[in-house]
Structure 1
Amino acid sequence: MPTTPVWPIPVRVSMPSSRSRSATMPAVRCSWNAISGWRWMSRRSATVRTLIVLASLAMSNVFIRSDDNRQPGSQRCPYRRILSAVPTGQHGEVGTTFSRTSLMISADRPGHLVTTATLDARYLPDVMALVERCAAHDGFDAGADEGFVRARSYPVPPEIVLQTADLIWVVGDRVVGYAGTYGFGRDEIEVVAVVDPEWRRRGIGRALIDEAIRVGHRAGVSRVLLVVPRFSVGGHALSERVGAKRSHSEAAMVLRDVPPGGDELGMGLVARIANVSDVAVLGEIGSSAFGGSPEEASAISRSSIGAVGRTIFLISRNGEDVGMVSIAVDHGAASIAGFAVRPEHQGMGIGRAVLKWLVRRLHGDGIAPITIEVDVTNDRAAGLYRDCGFREDRIYDYLAVAIG
């Protein structure tokens, strides 16, 4: 902390009593800065002192206090902040705090930020509870989001460690905000974020998104994709404030009707679990079906192989590798992704046969719900998924923030 004030202006300080001095020590230290400022002013002429005081009043006072436990509904701080940024620390306190003892520059945004590479046992239950509170308030099924959060406790593949961060906003001993960044080895990262309904409109969501963008900077990607549910008015408003532009939208579909059939794939198709020696082939298939370079597609597959709860099936026909599909299973729920068939083999019923076989197998193992996502403009894929028993559940908009 600097030993002299940035500006020689009066600083309003919450002075501690003898009974609470240890709890408000940051305010004590700041009071010496205020005294130093007045000493500086005392050596100036009366006219200069008057001008400085008037200028400082026009800019408004700095309000410094140590209570980051102010509850919702309590009186808002009447002082506007004139300091808008605090240097970022490592693995922790950024935004409105210098330390976890909490120097508050703005009483509208109390608390501090904790940054971790994975969600450990200390924070995982609290973040899960936060997701449940948000789901109950906003009226959505928390199942898929809870699965995403639980997966954050698993080891991070080295290929995407720089693109992965868990950002946790804590007020007192309560987790009131969370953002998770994740990448697939591509030139972008995706971000999901939630804020406790009682703590919204305090700048916490903006602080989380700003730090997520910094993660993108450090990872060297060209853009950050904010994943926002279509129904979230606040999420879209926040995305607009940070300059995000619409990239694309995806529909989350949930299996409602299990397609009939047996345990065999048929059509001469064979499915086997892929391993690291298959990364190059998986990259070729993914690139041919989804676009992008084979190297990027290979990085995505490499990050999934061996990951907890992740399985990639490589599909072959008559000895030729023609397709792939990836599944992630967590706490009895499954999501299907990376479902691709080489373009020259599309239109033959291979995708339909594979998907029906897979959902029958998952359902037979007692796994539910089973979800899959599709670009809202991809009518052909959406029609295939409906034919296999999936129905639209909700839409997510992907809003891009360019990193220059």
Structure 2
Amino acid sequence: MSQIQRQGLAKKATLTDVDITEIKQLTDVCNAYENLYMRLGFSMLRERSGRVYNDFLYYERNVLVGYLALEEWGTDEKELIIMVHPDFRRKGICTALLVAAREEGQQRQISRFLLVCEQSSSSGQGYIKAIGARLDFSEHEMVLASFQERSTFDERLSFHEAGRGDIDVVAKVLSASFDEPEPLATANLLKRFAQEPRPRIYLATLGEGEVSCKEPIGSLRLDEFDGVVGIYGFGVVPDYRRRGYGRQILEEAIRMVRATSQQPIMLDVETDNIPAIGLYTSCGFRIKTTYDYYNVST
């Protein structure tokens, strides 16, 4: 029996091992062509829920030449990345993938997409200019090069993994740190705890005596993927900034990771957050690359 010829666009709710291998090969080709670090988590691709279409693949004569991925997390807003093999660009493949994703987004009532494109990708930036997408924000990806510890610390600060019983407290910290509505922060935390048995969210408190008497001042989340440990959602309540607590929390997180793993440690920071960039640089982080996030309507 002859193999079915794959041609044109296909959308998938789950990916096979063959699919993931071909996506990895296409990613490697695109990265090498422009010396990029395309932001695609292969652990996420292996764990697709199977309930919705988040992967859009484009074939030419049985060869994968184009791919669009929607992130798994989020409902109203989704990040997406697009890649097309250098030999098959300017043939409408990128547009066909985006049209299919938009149709899916409309069916699922997704309000907007954030198209992620590396600043150094001339082809990606050219396509974004052509479709008229608007820049929303930019982020540096920073990687820990050489951990620079400081010997001074406040013994009243404690750092522990948060459980379901801490959701309300963590939500208050996130709301104050990132100026987001507390109900939204609570809803996102409830969803994360429902989806992951151990989301590795950590809470920093300041004070003496029982935990219930201590003031929550910061939080962060650790996420291990594709051989890297990421630090996400790192926030410090405004009243406790510029007093050394942010650095102490970050150092404690790094020591915690290093106690069990030598995997690379990374984090993201918006390019206009100068105080945070200064903190991360002083701890030993260095900028690896910069990503732009563009608004794309559905």
Instruction: Say yes or no: TM over 0.5.
Output: yes
Give distance in 1, aligned partners of 2:107 and 2:262. 38
Give distance in 1, aligned partners of 2:198 and 2:59. 29
1:258-302 CA-to-partner distances (Å, cap 9, x unmatched) read 12368x975322222223333333322222211232233234334
Matches within 5 A, 1:388-399: 388-399=283-294
2:10 alignment partner AA: V
1:223–1:401 Cα contact (<8 Å) kept: yes
The aligned counterpart of 1:154 is 47
- Classify 1:296/1:238 alpha carbon distance in 2 versus 1 (closer, same or farther; 3 Å): farther
Matches within 5 A, 1:187-206: 187-206=76-95
- Classify 1:183/1:332 alpha carbon distance in 2 versus 1 (closer, same or farther; 3 Å): closer
- Classify 1:376/1:210 alpha carbon distance in 2 versus 1 (closer, same or farther; 3 Å): same
1:225 alignment partner AA: L
1:227-285 CA-to-partner distances (Å, cap 9, x unmatched) read 110011221222233331111111111111112368x9753222222233333333222
Give distance in 1, aligned partners of 2:75 and 2:247. 28
1:138 alignment partner AA: E
2:36–2:120 Cα contact (<8 Å) kept: no
Of 323-332 and 222-231, more deviation after overlay is shown by: 323-332
The aligned counterpart of 1:140 is 36
TM (norm. structure 2) is 0.85
Shift of 1:165: 0.9
Matches within 5 A, 1:4-403: 111-141=7-37, 145=39, 148-156=41-49, 165-182=54-71, 184-185=73-74, 187-260=76-149, 266-305=154-193, 307=196, 310-318=199-207, 319-403=214-298
- 1:358 is paired with a residue whose SS is helix
- Classify 1:294/1:155 alpha carbon distance in 2 versus 1 (closer, same or farther; 3 Å): farther
- Classify 1:289/1:365 alpha carbon distance in 2 versus 1 (closer, same or farther; 3 Å): same
1:188–1:216 Cα contact (<8 Å) kept: no
- Classify 1:134/1:299 alpha carbon distance in 2 versus 1 (closer, same or farther; 3 Å): farther
Greater relative contact order (CA < 8 Å, ≥ 6 in sequence): 2
2:83 alignment partner AA: V
For the pair shown, which has the larger CA radius of gyration, 1 or 2? 1
- Structure 2 residue ranges without an equivalent (≥5): 208-213
Q: Which contiguous aligned blocks of 4+ residues in structure 1 show a shift greater than 6 angstroms?
A: none
- Classify 1:185/1:139 alpha carbon distance in 2 versus 1 (closer, same or farther; 3 Å): closer
- Classify 1:297/1:134 alpha carbon distance in 2 versus 1 (closer, same or farther; 3 Å): same
1:298 alignment partner AA: T
1:2-41 CA-to-partner distances (Å, cap 9, x unmatched) read xxxxxxxxxxxxxxxxxxxxx9xxxxxxxxxxxxxxxxxx
- 1:401 is paired with a residue whose SS is strand
Give distance in 2, aligned partners of 1:198 and 1:302. 45
Shift of 1:186: 6.0
2:119–2:292 Cα contact (<8 Å) kept: yes
TM (norm. structure 1) is 0.64
1:185–1:296 Cα contact (<8 Å) kept: no
**Greater share of strand:** 2
1:350-404 CA-to-partner distances (Å, cap 9, x unmatched) read 211111121233234333321111111110111111111111111111111234x
RMSD over aligned Cα, in angstroms? Answer: 2.9
- Structure 1 residue ranges without an equivalent (≥5): 1-22, 24-99, 103-110
Identity of aligned residues (%): 27
1:298-329 CA-to-partner distances (Å, cap 9, x unmatched) read 34334443538852112222223221111211
Give distance in 2, aligned partners of 1:219 and 1:279. 28
The aligned counterpart of 1:108 is none
